[in-house]
A and B are shown apart, each in its own frame.
Chain A
């Protein structure tokens, strides 16, 4: 691991009776694009505001460049923020807005002018310096906000849902542009969003937060292919989840009995770096299978005996989405390529997949196990 430029240790944030951030540990590497992803109220913005210094952690410490930030005022830190609402100063021109940070640092006038014009060029707003924020469109305001935050050459740039207010097309365009800027300037970006697609497109690593807890941190591929919790599995992309108990683990196969029968996944008892390792017989697990990995057969195959009934087909261009119903009424989704031979609606099928394509997820996470143990001890 490279140097951790932001080091968050055992941070908790409590407002009254509201525990917003729980035991957060997070190391952000220098130069990386890290996204805090989660639905609203999961504590991601609070985390960002604590790094920015607008909020103080209730317990724990946050270090930026190895120095604890608690003793420093926001203006003393090498960190700048792009706000969700842009927060441009309405009474100042675009030039003055962007120059603000440099003026506060008492940079010589000539240099300010050079740097502001250069920065406006970089965000493609050359020629806008005499306008006021109210004369700009949403996308342009966003660029000004980014330019204003970047001009101080921060070590870390914090972005709080910066594209939230833009329309889809503009958002896609800005995503690529932000990524380009980040690469070019080699600045660490910590990006908050609730949009999983945005997170997958832009990030080097994604930290998924849920109810104040960081469920998983990893590269987009890791998160997508090896979700650590049921929440992560369902939050990122589409998936089918089955709750059940591991009946046996033999020869790298874990047989899981679920409400409607038996399914099989790859699996082993020994803990390893590979997925589906470190599981025990009789453990409660969730099995996650992506729609594109789901198959069906007219007869039960080895290790699978869950029947389903084809309910509907949805044609979306190159793929056909198939919806089938399990005996308990749960729906599952499959994706088939157009042109494949498909059973008729109403026909009975058996679901299956390549065992290596399934992901086993501990149903009760370690934290919960620990608290259960504590309860038992007490």
Chain B
């Protein structure tokens, strides 16, 4: 009997433990523990020297309803919404073309979207800053060409932040769209045209509904990171277009109020979960989110 359990352990349990163990350990150490730490932290308070003390309080959550914070939540949502809408409008036609072209440049076009993705986005955003600045490339070239006489004031506006967000998150919209549009059976388009639908009608009644899942997952993958990409608004927005991510960063760094930062993080996580749940409820495919 004992040898049976030993054998079972050797043949079933041990290999399973070896395979699943490291991942479990990884998830516990790097995901579960920090999350619990943040959750506990959000109920802690700080003393007069800004040290975190384990004194239970819900004050941090009460602070979240401050008018100045609410203004930034709204601003965050506006920026994220704008970014998402612009991403859809630009990415959809673009992806439609590269996903359905029979050209041999198809994979090249696709790579053009993916390659910038391999460079750190922080570096790329700094690049845009020096490109768009008053003494940057764009302005000096335009002035040399006498198209403008004074440098354009392009930086530190909400629009610049949205631009940077669109730039950073564009591939996240393209990837799920590419999958959805690529799956579209072209005989369905022929059938629609055969039955009397004009091009735009086919788009509305067949193409759009059948690629909606791609649009939804693209929206989730753009909207949610947008709320947290503080470095984009830091570098390009110059403090005029903060997102929730900026609030969190500030509490952990200059504000030195870790419990409040933790509470803000929890709020961000809750917003994310609600949106993902909503996505799932509307029939979204969890696989295409990569989760």
How far apart are the CA atoms of A259 and B9 in the complex, in Å?
A: 77
How far apart are the CA atoms of A267 and B192 in the complex, in Å?
A: 54
B210: interface (CB < 8 Å):
yes
A75 and B196 contacting across the interface, CB-CB below 8 Å: yes
Given the interface pairs A81-B194, A104-B195, the reply to whether A87 lies near B187 with Cβ below 8 Å is: yes
B187 and A83 contacting across the interface, CB-CB below 8 Å: yes
Instruction: Name the distance in Å between A301's Cβ and chain B's nearest Cβ.
Output: 58
Instruction: Name the distance in Å between B289's Cβ and chain A's nearest Cβ.
Output: 20
Interface string of B195-217 (1 = CB under 8 A from A): 11110010001100110000000
B196 and A105 contacting across the interface, CB-CB below 8 Å: yes
How far apart are the CA atoms of A52 and B210 in the complex, in Å?
A: 24
A85 and B193 contacting across the interface, CB-CB below 8 Å: no
B190: interface (CB < 8 Å):
yes
How far apart are the CA atoms of A91 and B209 in the complex, in Å?
A: 7
Find the B residue at minimum CB distance from A75.
B196
How many residues of A are in contact with the other chain, CB < 8 A?
A: 22
Range of interface residues on B (Cβ < 8 Å): 10 to 19
Find the A residue at minimum CB distance from B208.
A91
Contacts of A237 in B (CB 8 A): none
B191: interface (CB < 8 Å):
yes
Contacts of B206 in A (CB 8 A): 89
Given the interface pairs A90-B210, A91-B209, the reply to whether A74 lies near B193 with Cβ below 8 Å is: yes
B185: interface (CB < 8 Å):
yes
Instruction: Name the distance in Å between A98's Cβ and chain B's nearest Cβ.
Output: 10
A87 and B201 contacting across the interface, CB-CB below 8 Å: no
A52 and B195 contacting across the interface, CB-CB below 8 Å: no
Within 8 A of B (CB), among A90-112: 90-91, 100-101, 104-105
Given contacts A89-B188, A91-B209, 12 further A-B contacts (CB under 8 A): A74-B190, A74-B193, A75-B195, A75-B196, A83-B190, A87-B188, A89-B191, A89-B205, A91-B210, A104-B195, A105-B196, A152-B196
Interface residues of B (CB under 8 A from A): 185, 187-188, 190-198, 201, 205-206, 209-210
A to B CB contacts below 8 Å, 30 in the list: A52-B190, A54-B190, A73-B193, A73-B198, A74-B193, A74-B194, A75-B196, A75-B197, A80-B195, A81-B194, A83-B187, A83-B190, A83-B191, A85-B187, A87-B185, A87-B190, A88-B191, A89-B188, A89-B191, A89-B192, A90-B210, A91-B209, A91-B210, A100-B195, A101-B195, A104-B196, A105-B196, A148-B191, A149-B195, A152-B195
Interface residues of A (CB under 8 A from B): 52, 54, 73-75, 79-81, 83, 85, 87-91, 100-101, 104-105, 148-149, 152
Q: Which 6 A-B pairs have the closest CB atoms?
A: A104-B196, A101-B195, A87-B191, A87-B187, A75-B196, A74-B193
